[in-house]
Amino acid sequence: MAEKDNHVVYERMEFLKDELLNDLHPKTLKSIQDKINLLKSSSISNDFLKIGDRAPDFVIANPVGKKIKLSHLVKNGKLVLSFIRGGWCPYCYLELRAYQKVLTQIQALGAGVIAISSERPDYCLNTMDRNALQFEVLSDRGNKVAQKYNLVYKSESEIDLWDELGLSKTVSDGDLSYELPVPATYIIDENMIIRYAFTNPDYRYRANPTDVLNILTGLKRL
């Protein structure tokens, strides 16, 4: 895919933020904005992992039961690691589709992609199928891995919002604690060092896939 096409994917994500919000009831819109403002004003950002930090290792079973270990994955090359809220989140599935569109370019640069969701394994498999993904979406029940990356926040104030959007059961089926990760994208190298980090408490904003490709290109030249 050409760089211009990468920007088209990203611009679609940008457009969707406004498109989705325009269709919501004012009360729902206010609930979303209030939660985002609360997260942005909290101290959670102070604990986000940064470039140069060592990535915490983890082991997660994929939807068919195969155990995936981060430190084993990076032995084969750098990894783009994406934490998502869930396949029910439109911003998340647009992000996943964006990575699928540039997957061959990422692989040509000697890297791979995995996503981590708090949803249960069968929901993750459904997310992979619905979006025709050729990379793993792993189930992080209880947000145990996301906690290692300091991304988890409590979402009790969103329960009424999820009910209004018809998402309450979908979310609670993944994690009954009503905790969610702040969406994040990392590039992790063969030594488990974070070489790129994108985290934003405003979950409507995601890493630009072109930026990810540029970082991987620069790392390949080293």
The number of domains in the chain is 1
At 1 the pLDDT is: 40
pLDDT digits (tens, 9 = 90+) for 175-206: 545 678 899 999 999 999 999 999 988 888 89
Residue 86 predicted with pLDDT over 50: yes
Q: How many CB atoms lie within 10 A of CB 118?
A: 26
Here the CATH number for the domain that contains residue 130 is 3.40.30.10
Q: How far is CA 117 from the centre of its chain?
A: 7
**Residue 99 structural domain:** 3-221
Mean pLDDT throughout 104-124? 93
At 35 the pLDDT is: 73
Residue 217 predicted with pLDDT over 80: yes
Residue 40 predicted with pLDDT over 60: yes
Mean pLDDT throughout 145-162? 74
Q: What is the 3-state secondary structure (H, E, C) of the chain?
A: CCHHHHHHHHHHHHHHHHHHHHCCCHHHHHHHHHHHHHHHHCCHHHHCCCCCCECCCCEEECCCCCEEEHHHHHHHCEEEEEEECCCCCHHHHHHHHHHHHCHHHHHHCCEEEEEEECCCHHHHHHHHHHCCCCCEEEECHHHHHHHHCCCEEECHHHHHHHHHHCCHHHHHHHCCCCEEECCEEEEECCCCEEEEEEECCCCCCCCCHHHHHHHHHHHHHC
What is the separation, in whole angstroms, between the first and last Cα of the chain? 23
Comparing 55-64, 67-76, 82-91, 182-191, the range with the smallest average pLDDT is 82-91
Residue with more model confidence, 153 or 1? 153
Residue 146: phi and psi, rounded to 5, are -60, -30
Residue 8 predicted with pLDDT over 50: no
Whole-prediction pTM = 0.81
pLDDT > 70 fraction of the chain, expressed in percent and rounded: 73
